[in-house]
Amino acid sequence: MPTTTTEPTVDPSTPADGAPTAVLSNASVAPGEELTITGSNFKPGSTATFTLHSDPIVLGTAIANSEGIVSLKVTLPSTVTPGVHTVIITGLGSNGEAAEASVKLTVVAAASSTSSTQAGNSNNDDLASTGAGTTPFLLGGLLLVVAGAFTLISRRKRKSSHA
């Protein structure tokens, strides 16, 4: 069973011996990101299976076109751990015998958002201060209300004592 390991490239190329090859649209991706995997030199009309190895995860299948090219666009599962993995395409080679092609894929850690982890946190110590507090304004308003009430009461007392 011929096996060819290639580094990620943009276009698949057929080796001189006719063995299948595999390439990736991106050499490194994070879980949840899209990736296109392309293989060449498979038997036209045959089905190829795409599997991510370390923990085998079947990513999907594709049928080889008339030129023996298979291609699969997939969203990398969120369960894939960061590190170097191998994508293996298995199917029938152009000669009709079982064949596979493999390529290395680097899975990078997904960008974490601290805001999502703090969203459920009831501790507001981490919130930014965006202006002055309201306490001085509330106390000032209360003082004005008390002064107004005092003025109103003292005017009524004066009017009632003059009458």
Domain boundaries, the chain: 21-107
Q: What is the pLDDT of residues 28-75, one digit of tens each?
A: 999 999 999 999 999 999 999 999 998 899 999 999 999 999 999 999
pLDDT at 103: 96
Query: Are the C-beta atoms of 42 and 93 separated by less than 8 Å?
Result: yes
Residue 25 CB-density burial (10 A; 0-12 exposed, 13-18 middle, 19+ buried) = middle
Q: What are phi and psi of 8, to 5 degrees?
A: -60, 135
Query: In the chain, what is the straight-line distance between the N-terminal and C-terminal CA atoms, in Å?
Result: 118
* 43, 95, 105, 131 from 31: Cα distances, Å: 31, 35, 12, 39
118: left (phi over 0), alpha (psi -120 to 50) or beta: alpha
Name the token pair of 152.
Answer: 């109103």
CA–CA gap between residue 86 and residue 25 (Å, rounded) = 14
pLDDT at 59: 96
Name the token pair of 106.
Answer: 């680097």
Residue 76's closest CA among 90, 61, 57? 57
Mean pLDDT of the chain: 80
Instruction: Report residue 133's pLDDT band, with 50, 70 and 90 as the boundaries.
Output: low
Look at the domain 21-107 and name its fold: Immunoglobulin-like (2.60.40)
Q: What is the pLDDT of residues 91-120, one digit of tens each?
A: 999 999 999 999 999 999 987 654 444 444
Residue 35's closest CA among 94, 98, 80? 80
